[in-house]
Chain A
Amino acid sequence: MATIAEPDGGPATTGGGSVYRTRGLTKVYGSGAGAVHALRGVDLDAREGEMIVLLGPSGSGKSTLLNILGGLDRASGGHAWFHDRDLVGCDDDALTEYRRRSVGFVFQFYNLIASLTARENVSLITEIAEKPLDPAEALALVGLEKRLDHFPSQLSGGEQQRVAIARAIAKQPAVLLCDEPTGALDSQTGRMVLAAIDEVNRRLGTTTFVITHNAVIADMADEVLLFGDGQIVGTRRNAVRKAPAELSW
Chain B
Amino acid sequence: MTILRVKLLRDLWRLRAQALAIALVIAAGVGMVVMSFGMIRSLEATREAYYDLYRFADVFAPLRRAPEPLMASVRMLPGVAMAESRISTGAILDVPGVMEPVSARIHSLPPDGQPALNRLVVRSGRLPDPRRSQEVVANEAFANAARLRVGDRIAATLYGNRVELRLVGTVLSPEYVYTVAPGQIFPDNRRFGTLWMGREPLAAALDLTDSFNEVTLRLAPDADQGEVIRRLDLLLAPYGGNGSFPRDQQISDRFVTNEISQLRVTIELLPPIFLAVAAFLLNIVLARLVDTEREVIGLLKAFGYRGRTIMQHYAELALLLSVGGLVLGVAVGTWLGRALARLYQAYFVFPFLEFRAGADVYLIAIAVTLAAVIAGAFAAVRRAAGLNPAEAMRPQVPPDFSGRLANLVTSLGPDEPTRMILRGLIRRPLRTSLAVTGIAAALGLYIASASATDNVERMIDLVFGQGQRGDLIVAFSEPRDARALHELQRLPGVLRVEPFRAAGARLRAGPRVEREGLSSVDSGADLRRLIDLEGRLVDPPPAGAIVSTSLASQLGVATGDRITAEITEGDRPTLSIPVARIVDTPIGASVTMDRRAINRLLREGETISGAYLSVDDARLPRLYAELKVTPGIANVTIFSAMLQSLRQTIGENMGIVTMFNTGFAALIVLGVVYNSARISLSERARDLASLRVLGFRRGEVGFVLLGELALLVLLAIPIGALLGIGLSWLLTEAYSASADSHASLYTIPFAINPATVAEGVLVVSGAAAVTALLIRDRTDRLDLIRALKTRE
Contact = CB atoms under 8 A, between A and B. Distances in A.
Contacts of A74: 388
B7 A115 contact: yes
B393 A123 contact: no
B388 A72 contact: yes
Interface in A48-107: 63, 67, 70, 72-74, 92-93, 96-101, 103, 105, 107
Nearest to A64: B390
Interface in B1-35: 2-4, 6-7, 10-11, 14
Contact of A73 (B295, B303, B390): B390
A113 interface: yes
B390 A100 contact: no
Interface string B387-400: 01111010100000
A101 B306 CA distance: 12
B304 A109 contact: no
Contacts of B786: 153
Interface in A159-176: 167
A96 B791 contact: no
Contacts of B309: 128
B402 interface: no
B689 to A, nearest CB: 14
B295 A103 contact: no
A150 to B, nearest CB: 13
Given A109-B791, A111-B295, A100 B303 contact: yes
Interface residues of B, number: 32
Contacts of B7: 113, 115-116, 120, 124
Contacts of B393: 107, 109, 111
Contact of A100 (B3, B304, B790): B304
Contacts of B791: 109, 111
B3 A105 contact: no
A107 B298 CA distance: 12
Given A116-B6, A127-B2, A72 B14 contact: no
B302 interface: yes
B792 interface: yes
B401 to A, nearest CB: 17
B6 A96 contact: no
Contacts of B789: 153, 157
Interface string B292-323: 00011011111111110100000000000000
A124 B310 CA distance: 12
Contact of A72 (B10, B296, B306, B389): B389
A99 B300 CA distance: 10
Contacts of A96: 301, 304-307
A67 B4 contact: no
Interface residues of A, number: 34
B305 A100 contact: yes
Contact of A124 (B3, B306, B390, B391): B3
Nearest to A167: B303
Contacts of A167: 303
In this complex, the member of A99, A101, A124 whose beta carbon has the largest number of chain B beta carbons within 10 angstroms is A124
A74 B306 CA distance: 17
A112 B300 CA distance: 10
Among B303, B305, B395: residue with most chain A CB under 10 A: B303
Interface string A120-152: 100111011000000000000000000000001
B790 A127 contact: no
Given A109-B791, A113-B296, A115-B14, A72 B302 contact: yes
Nearest to B385: A92
Contacts of A113: 7, 296, 299
B6 A101 contact: no
Nearest to B392: A72
A6 B511 CA distance: 98
A114 interface: yes
A125 B309 CA distance: 13
Nearest to A115: B10
Interface string B266-304: 000000000000000000000000000001101111111
A99 B302 contact: yes
Interface in A206-234: none
A111 B299 contact: yes
Contacts of A92: 307
A100 B389 CA distance: 13
A107 B302 CA distance: 11
A105 B388 CA distance: 14
Contacts of B391: 73
Most central of B10, B298, B304, B307 by chain A CB within 10 Å? B304
Nearest to A110: B790
Contact of A116 (B10, B304, B305, B390): B10
A152 B295 CA distance: 15
A99 B303 contact: yes
A72 B295 CA distance: 14
A153 B790 contact: yes
Contact of B304 (A67, A101, A153): A101
Interface string B769-792: 000000000000000001001111
Nearest to B4: A124
Contacts of A70: 302
Most chain B CB neighbours (cut-off 10 Å) among A98, A123, A128:
A128
A96 B4 CA distance: 18
Nearest to A73: B388
Contacts of A98: 304
Nearest to A92: B307
A128 B295 contact: no
Contacts of A67: 388, 390
A128 B310 CA distance: 13
Given A111-B393, A111-B791, A116-B3, A124 B10 contact: no
Contacts of A112: 790
Nearest to A104: B303
A109 B299 CA distance: 12
A153 to B, nearest CB: 6
Contacts of B3: 116, 120, 123-124, 127
Contacts of B298: 111
B304 A99 contact: yes
A105 B790 contact: no
- Give the most central of A63, A74, A109: most B CB within 10 Å: A109
Contacts of B2: 127
Nearest to A129: B304
A103 B390 contact: no
A120 B390 CA distance: 22
Given A109-B791, A152-B790, A128 B305 contact: yes
A247 B140 CA distance: 99
Contacts of A111: 295, 298-299, 393, 791
B2 to A, nearest CB: 6
A72 B303 CA distance: 9
A68 B691 CA distance: 36
Contacts of B390: 63, 67, 72-73
A114 B11 CA distance: 10
A220 B87 CA distance: 113
A105 B792 contact: no
A43 B391 CA distance: 24
Given A72-B302, A120-B7, 16 more contacts: A72-B388, A72-B389, A72-B390, A96-B307, A97-B304, A99-B301, A101-B304, A111-B295, A111-B791, A113-B296, A113-B299, A114-B792, A115-B10, A115-B14, A124-B3, A152-B790
17 contacts: A72-B388, A72-B389, A72-B390, A92-B307, A96-B304, A97-B304, A99-B303, A100-B303, A100-B304, A103-B304, A105-B302, A116-B10, A124-B3, A125-B303, A127-B2, A128-B309, A153-B790
Interface of B: 2-4, 6-7, 10-11, 14, 295-296, 298-307, 309, 388-391, 393, 395, 786, 789-792
Interface of A: 63, 67, 70, 72-74, 92-93, 96-101, 103, 105, 107, 109, 111-116, 120, 123-125, 127-128, 152-153, 157, 167
Per CB-CB distance, the 5 closest pairs between chain A and chain B, nearest first, are: A100-B304, A115-B10, A99-B304, A72-B390, A124-B3
